Amino acid sequence: MERVRIGLVGLGTVGASFYELLTANADEIGRRLGVAIEVPVVAVRDPSRPRRVGPGTRVVGGPREILDDPTLPVVVELVGGTGVAYEVVREALGRGKHVITANKALLAAHGEELFALARSKGVELLFEASVCGGIPIVKVLRESLLGNRIDRILGIVNGTSNFILTRMSEEGLGYAEALAEAQAKGFAEADPAMDVSGADAAQKISLLASLAFGTWVDWRAVLCEGITAVTPRDIAFARSAGYVFKPVAAASRVEGRPLVTVYPAMVPVGHPLATVRGEFNGVMVDSDFLGSSVYQGRGAGGRPTASSLASDLGDLARILAAGPAAYPRVPAFERRELFPAERLRCRCCFHFVTANRPGIWALVTGTLADNGINIESVHQKWEDRTLPSDLFVLVDEAEEGQLRRALSQVIASPGISAESRYFRILDGEAGTGGNG
């Protein structure tokens, strides 16, 4: 049987699981692939710590030995971050090695440059594991849907945010309680900022959008809102109206330009994404010939991520055996301006926190009308007239700019709290609407 030798850089949560997978399923992989995978060397930061590796594997400190070894045509980067990882990936590609990475932060920051470098060197930069852990969504977009025009991607791509909103919805927990539980269970980091702010999801959906549309999407340019503003009162109202809150990342093409957004959305309970619960991820893809398809599974953790790494490694083994023509080419991206987020159109639900006195409804409905926003229904219930009141207003599809303007005008009026806000509503039917 032919052999492929790989250099593994990083043996932490993901690296150790990947090594374990290659060992535990070596026979299975060899049988399916017709190629045996060997890991003669693993690089870590501290090689003095004991590691669970077999006798055929040496553990070394730092990536230098792997980069310099001409008998290792494949480097698997599992360090994380944009420092050492960037140097490792850039140098490996520059030296004509194929690279597999699980590092979405690296691709979000330097992907355009690194993909171009890979193309110029005639090597692959594979990254299935960088988005949605074990769900093979990159392969779906690159290969399975090759014959389709992709119109829209809707995803729950951050397991931490989904876990928190699920616990708030199903157990009535407050945000802080749900976050503490996520941290205790290992679903949230000690510093959860990247996850709960939406930044992690923005990086992932930007990568998926770039793949789907062939346009490089800079994640810093996307409309991005985290889940921290969602309160138990919002969740309770949403439930009564037939919706559940989900951290939704979306990418579509409007007037030929990508529109990419991340926000906590009110999702109809019958929508496929409404059933993606807890730490799970789910992605729905609308394409012209297949229609809607949904992919769901574990979006993080060592073992699911290792599963995706193995899939990339299988592709590389085939390329090494049969030549580069055996695989679709490294993506090439053109530059195009994003569709402006203030022109995003969607239905939404305003939540005004108001003083409890006559005239508030008139003020709110008048301001919405002044901004051309059509009201679907108004809901208010209070038990104590001395306390602020929650006024929920569901409105018809309007542009983001109109919604923002109306909200700031209402908030500037007496008797309205600055904590008033609005949440966007996802369309009920797959394949309809802009990003909403």
Ligand X SMILES: NC(=O)c1ccc[n+]([C@@H]2O[C@H](COP(=O)([O-])OP(=O)(O)OC[C@H]3O[C@@H](n4cnc5c(N)ncnc54)[C@H](OP(=O)(O)O)[C@@H]3O)[C@@H](O)[C@H]2O)c1
> What amino acid positions are annotated as catalytic residues?
204
The single residue among 30, 40, 62, 431 that binds ligand X, judged by CB under 6 A, is 62
CA 83 to chain centre: 22
Find out whether 132 and 283 touch, Cβ atoms under 8 Å.
yes
138: phi then psi, degrees, rounded to nearest 5: -65, -45
Only one of the segments 12-20, 250-258, 384-392, 402-410 lies at the binding site for ligand X (rule: CB under 6 A); that segment is: 12-20
Which residue lies nearer to ligand X by CB, 46 or 334?
46
Q: Which residue is nearest to ligand X (CB)?
A: 12
282 touches 294 (CB < 8 A) = yes
Contact between 402 and ligand X (CB under 6 A)? no
Position among 46, 191, 337, 383 found at the interface with ligand X (CB under 6 A): 46
Give the C-alpha separation, 113 to 102, whole Å.
17
Q: 222: exposed, middle or buried (C-beta count within 10 Å: 0-12, 13-18, 19+)?
A: buried
Other CB atoms within 10 Å distance of the CB of residue 251: 29
Quote the least distance from Cβ 45 to ligand X, whole Å. Answer: 4
Q: Which residue has the tokens 């574990």?
A: 298
Residue 95 Cβ vs ligand X, minimum distance, rounded to whole Å = 17
Amino acid of residue 290: L
For residue 11, state whether it binds ligand X (rule: CB under 6 A).
Answer: yes
**363 Cβ partners below 8 Å, 6+ apart?**
410, 413, 415, 416
Closest separation in Å from C-beta 12 to ligand X: 2
76 binds ligand X (CB under 6 A): no
Binding residues among 129-168 for ligand X as defined by CB under 6 A: 129, 133
Span near ligand X by CB under 6 A; candidates 41-49, 108-116, 315-323, 380-388: 41-49
202 binds ligand X (CB under 6 A): no
φ/ψ of residue 420, rounded to 5: -60, 150
CA neighbor of 18 nearest in space, from 297, 312, 318, 310: 310
Q: Does 63 bind ligand X (CB under 6 A)?
A: yes
Is 264 a binding residue for ligand X by CB under 6 A? The answer is no
194 binding ligand X? (CB under 6 A): no
Task: Tell me whether residue 119 or residue 303 sits nearer to ligand X (CB atom).
Answer: 303
Binding flags for ligand X, 94-123, as an x/- string (CB under 6 A): --------xx--------------------
Query: Measured in Å, how far apart are the chain's first and last C-alpha atoms?
Result: 51
- Interface with ligand X by CB under 6 A: which residues? 9-15, 43-46, 62-63, 78-80, 84, 102-103, 129, 133, 300-301, 305
